[in-house]
Structure 1
Amino acid sequence: MDLGLQGKKAIICASSRGLGKGCAEALAEAGCDIVLNGRNEAVLATTSAALREAHGINVTSIAADVSTKEGQAALLAACPDPDILVNNNGGPPRRDYSELDREALLEGAIQNFVTPIEFIQAVVPGMKARGFGRIVNITSLSVKMPIEGLDLSSGARAGLTAFLAGVCRQLAPHGITINNLLPGKMDTDRLKGGFERSAQQSGKSVEAIRAAQAAEIPARRFGNAEEFGQTCAFLCSRHAGYITGQNLLMDGGLYPAAF
């Protein structure tokens, strides 16, 4: 399927690995020029080179923390007028709510609530002028289904969802869509780290923990970055112009609901 994205410009936050990388690969395959972002310069360079070689598109790499004003400025300087913005950022570490002090609460809110809103504020004027814009926010299954120890991440991402529910309807007349992708248990480094912690705490093997958690998912497997990225690319495509304000779960059926 031709997504109608040839020559479009995309900023993809936290995209040198994991789900962000999956989005970058799918958008590069669709013909977008990419602004790639990560904190590890070596990993960033490897991902950038692979995208250029595989798809022959322009890739600009920005090593920066997108939660900082300096990091945001660097990405926007590299691409002042993106057609596509994929908001993504690591969440606060797993921690019981009772252990969170004011500093930790504010940092989590900046990472997963303030930062994506600031990016949207920066890119929307250009999207309005061109009559086209696609914004995808990578949030989490935890917005709908609490996950122990991720209360701060869940709360900040849920706040972002509520904040943008009105904003997306203001922007729809201008050809701009805002949608949220909610990953469940995806086969990423973050998930693997969780397996290792559970194995240490329980005395079970990592393989046993992995198998038990996969068995809880109706699809009987974990998701992967490739299918996640392809879904993101479709939401950015010309075919998805009538989809906005939606929260798309990608969890293999783990969240049990009819609506």
Structure 2
Amino acid sequence: MDLGLRGKKAIVCASSRGLGRGCAMALAEAGCDIVVNGRDSAVLAATASEIREKYGVDVIEIAGDVADQKVRAALLAACPSPDILVNNNGGPPFRDFRELTHQAMIDGVTNNMITPIELIQAVIDGMAERGFGRIVNITSLSVYQPIPGLDLSSGARAGLTAFLAGVARTVAAKNVTINHILPGKFDTDRIRGSIEFAAKKAGTSFEEQASRQAADIPAGRLGTPEEFGQACAFLCSVHAGYITGQSLILDGGNYPSAF
């Protein structure tokens, strides 16, 4: 399927590895020029080089933590009129909520709620004026299904979802959409941290816990960043203009709900 994105410009936050990388790759495959971002400049450079070689699109690298205002300013300077914005950022580490300090909670909300909102504030009116915009926020299945130890991440991402529910409806008529993708268990550094946390709590090995978690998923496996990226690319496509304000669960059937 032609996604109708050739020549579009996309900012993909935290895209040097993991799910963000999967999104950047899929959008580049669809013909988008990409601004990629990541904290590790060497990893970021390798990702950018691979995208250029594979897909022949323009790629700009902006190193740093997207929660830093200077890094966000650099992203917008590199692409002041994006057609697509994919918000993504690492969440707080697994931690019992009793151990969360005041500053840790402020940082969690800044990283996973305030940062994407401020980026949306910066790009949404331009998208509306041009008559095309796609905003996708990578949140978490924990927005729907609580995960002990991820309480801060869950709360901040749920706040982002609720905040944008009304905003999405205000720009839908301008062909600007805002949606969320809620990943379950994907083969990323983040899920490996989750498995390590669970293994330590259960007193088992990493390998045993990993096998147990995969077996609990109806699909019988972890997801891949590549298939996640393709779902993101579709939500960014010209075919998805009637989908907005929605939360798409990608979890191999793990969340037990009929609706």
Q: What is the TM-score of this pair, normalised by structure 2?
A: 0.98
CA distance in 2 between counterparts of 1:137 and 1:112 reads: 10
Deviations 1:7-28 (A, max 9, x none): 0000000000000000000000
2:154 aligns to what? 154
Deviations 1:93-117 (A, max 9, x none): 1111112222111111100110000
**Identical residues among aligned pairs (%):** 67
CA distance in 1 between counterparts of 2:93 and 2:196 reads: 15
Aligned residues: 259
Contact 2:94–2:197 under 8 Å retained in 1 = no
Mapping of residues 7-156 of structure 1, within 5 Å: 7-156=7-156
What's the offset of the Cα at 1:210? Answer: 1.0
Deviations 1:93-144 (A, max 9, x none): 1111112222111111100110000000000121011100000000000000
Distance 1:154 1:201, change over 3 A: closer
What's the offset of the Cα at 1:196? Answer: 3.2
Q: What is the TM-score of this pair, normalised by structure 1?
A: 0.98
CA distance in 1 between counterparts of 2:152 and 2:191 reads: 18
What's the offset of the Cα at 1:204? Answer: 3.0
Deviations 1:201-223 (A, max 9, x none): 54533221111111111111111
Amino acid at match of 2:110: I
Distance 1:182 1:7, change over 3 A: same
What's the offset of the Cα at 1:176? Answer: 0.1
3-state SS of the aligned residue for 1:35? strand
CA distance in 2 between counterparts of 1:203 and 1:118 reads: 41
What's the offset of the Cα at 1:197? Answer: 3.8
Deviations 1:25-67 (A, max 9, x none): 0000000000000010100010000000000000000001110
CA distance in 2 between counterparts of 1:72 and 1:219 reads: 37
CA distance in 2 between counterparts of 1:171 and 1:100 reads: 37
CA distance in 2 between counterparts of 1:19 and 1:152 reads: 20
What's the offset of the Cα at 1:195? Answer: 2.6
Gaps spanning 5+ residues in structure 1: where?
Answer: none
